[in-house]
Amino acid sequence: MQEKLKDLKKIAEERIKSVETLDDVEQLRVDLLGKKGELTQILKGMGKLSSEERPVIGKLGNEVRQLITDSVNSKKEAIKASMLDKRLEMEKIDVTMPGKKYKLGKQHIISKMIDEVTEIFMGMGFSIAEGPEVETVSNNFDALNAPKDHPSRDMSDTFYITEDILLRTQTSPVQIRTMKKAVKEDNLPLKIIVPGRCFRSDSPDATHSPMFHQIEVLVVGKNITFTEFKGTMETFVQKLYGPETKTKFRPHNFPFTEPSAEIDVTCFKCGGAGCPVCKGEGWIEILGAGMVHPNVLKNCGIDPEVYSGFAAGMGVERLAMLKYGIDDIRLMFENDVRFLDEF
C-alpha cells in the first residue's frame, strides 16, 4: 500500500505537469482526490491493515493528499498568471505608433462668403428670405418689369422647364414673392437679403458657370431715398473690405430699378493705385443696384406714391474670386480638396 501511495504521488506530479487549462486541472484534482478518486480507492484498503501499519499509512495518505493539493493549487496559479500575461500582451498599447487621423471637413468657400455677407446685413437689421430655384417666368421676368424682348429671356440664355416655368436666372424674383407676401400679411416695411442658387445657359469657362450664387438685397418702406440706399451700400462695402474702401455709383440700366447703378469699390488689394486684381483701374465692380422701379412696386400691390425702396444683387462667386484671388470660377465646383482646403 505504501508503494501504491508513492506511485500515485509520482504519477500525479507528472499528470499535473502535462495539463494546460484550469478545467483540466480541476478535473485531474477530482480524479485524484475526489470521493471516488484514486487516493480514496487506495485508502479503502486501510481496514485490512494491522493497528501498527494503519497510522503510518494514514499519515502517508495525508501527506500525499497535501502534496497533490499543493501541486494542483500551484498549477492553477501558474495557469492564471500565464493567461493574464497573454491578455496584457494582446491589449498592449504602443504609444509610439502613429495615431489614426480623422480629417475634419470645413465650410465651402461659397458658404463662407454667403455667411460673411449675411452677417454684415444682419448686423444692420436685415432678415433672410428664400425662394425656390424653380420659378415662374412671371416672377423671374414680368413682375420685375423685364420687357418681353429682353435678351436674358431668350431660350439660349435661360433654362426653361415649360413656357411659364424656368430655373431662376437671378435671386430678384424673391423680391416679388416677399413684397406680395408682406402686402398680404400687412407686413411692410421690409429689409431682407436673399442668398441663393441661380442658373443660366452659359458654357462653363473661367468666369461663367451655368449654376452660380447671388445675394439679393431689398429694402421697402416709407421715405426710403437714395441717401438710405447709398449709406447702406457704403456701410456694407466698408464692413466687407475695410473702412478705407470708397464706393462709386456708376449709372447703369436694370429693368427693375430706376435709377440703376453698378457699384464699384476701390481695389482692396492696391487701395486704388492700380494692380493686377483691378486690372490697373484702381476700381472693381462688385454689384448691381438701384431704387426699386415703381412698376415693380405696383406689380406687387404696393403704392409707389407711398412706398419706395432700393435693391441690389451681387454674385457670390465673383466676390469670392476677388477676395481670394481665384482666377477660374470652375475651381469652386470641382471639389478638389487641395483647393477647398486653402480657404
- Which residue positions form the known binding site? 258
Output the known binding site for Mg(2+): 258
Of 117 and 311, the one with the shorter C-beta distance to ligand DAH is 311
Closest CA to 297 of 216, 186, 193, 179: 179
Residue with C-alpha cell 497535501? 66
Looking at the chain, how many residues does it have? 343
Q: Does 296 bind ligand DAH (CB under 6 A)?
A: no
Q: Does 313 bind ligand DAH (CB under 6 A)?
A: yes
Q: Does 216 bind ligand DAH (CB under 6 A)?
A: yes
Of 196 and 288, the one with the shorter C-beta distance to ligand DAH is 288
Helix (H) or strand (E) segment spanning residue 270: none
Angle between helices 2-18 and 53-90 (to 10 degrees): 0
Per the omega criterion (within 30 degrees of 0), is the bond before 189 cis?
A: yes
Candidate list 136, 247, 257, 299; residue touching ligand DAH; CB under 6 A: 257
Q: Does 232 bind ligand DAH (CB under 6 A)?
A: no
For residue 316, the minimal CB distance to ligand DAH (Å) is: 12
User: 109-148 mask for ligand DAH (x: CB under 6 A)?
Assistant: ----------------------------------------
d(CA 178, CA 182): 6
Say if CB 196 and CB 175 are below 8 A apart.
no
Q: Which stretch binds ligand DAH (CB under 6 A): 28-36, 73-81, 92-100, 285-293?
A: 285-293
Q: Does 264 bind ligand DAH (CB under 6 A)?
A: no
Q: Does 290 bind ligand DAH (CB under 6 A)?
A: yes
**Amino acid identity, residue 30?**
V
The sign of the CA dihedral 163, 165, 169, 175 is positive
**Within 156-215, which residues bind ligand DAH (CB under 6 A)?**
170, 172
d(CA 118, CA 258): 25
- Give the residue nearest to ligand DAH (CB): 313
Torsion of CA 318, 263, 147, 160, to 10 degrees: 10
Of 38 and 262, the one with the shorter C-beta distance to ligand DAH is 262
Q: Which stretch binds ligand DAH (CB under 6 A): 33-41, 219-227, 265-273, 286-294?
A: 286-294
Per the omega criterion (within 30 degrees of 0), is the bond before 259 cis?
A: yes
Residues engaged in binding ligand DAH (CB under 6 A):
170, 172, 216, 254, 257, 288-290, 311-313
